[in-house]
Amino acid sequence: MDIKNYEKYISAETLMGPSCVRILEELFEKYPQKFSKDDIILDLSCGTGLSSLVIAKETGARVFANDLWIREEENKKRFSEWGIYGQVIPFCADANNLSFDKGQFKALISIDSYHYFAGKEGFFQEKILPFMKDGGVILIAIPGLKEEYSDKGNLLSDWLGDEAYMFKSAKCWEKLIGSHCRIKTLKTWEMGCFEKAWDEWFSVNNEYALGDLKYYETIIKPYTCFVGIYVKLK
Query: Whole-model pTM?
Result: 0.96
The percent of residues above 90 in pLDDT, for the chain, comes to: 96
Instruction: Tell me: pLDDT of 59 over 80.
Output: yes
Can you tell me the mean pLDDT for 10-25?
Answer: 96
Amino acid 83 reads: G
d(CA 121, CA 160): 23
DSSP string, 117-180: H--STTHIIIIIGGGEEEEEEEEEEEEEESS--TTHHHHHHHHHGGGGGG--BHHHHHHHH---
Q: For residue 2, with 0-12 CB atoms within 10 Å meaning exposed, 13-18 middle and 19 or more buried, which class applies? A: exposed
Q: How far apart are CA 124 and CA 77, in angstroms?
A: 31
pLDDT single digits (tens) 132-171 = 999 999 999 999 999 988 788 789 999 999 999 999 999 9
Output Rg (C-alpha) for the chain, integer angstroms.
17
What is the pairing mode between strands 88-91 and 62-66? parallel
Which CATH architecture group holds 3-233? 3-Layer(aba) Sandwich (3.40)
DSSP 92: -
Average pLDDT over all residues of the chain: 96
The pLDDT score that the predictor gives to residue 83 is: 97
Does 22 have pLDDT greater than 80? yes
Q: Report d(CA 194, CA 227) in Å as an integer.
A: 10
- Average the pLDDT over 31-55 and give the result: 97
Distance, CA of 221 to CA of 200 (rounded, Å) = 15
pLDDT at 75: 98
> Mean pLDDT over residues 84-113, rounded?
97
Closest to 128 measured CA to CA, from 42, 27, 59, 70: 42
Q: Enumerate the domain spans of the chain.
A: 3-233
Pairs from 193-198 (Cβ < 8 Å, separation ≥ 24): 193/22, 193/23, 193/25, 193/26, 193/226, 194/18, 194/225, 194/226, 195/221, 196/19, 196/22, 197/18, 197/19, 197/22, 197/23, 197/226, 198/18
What's the average model confidence in pLDDT over 77-87? 98
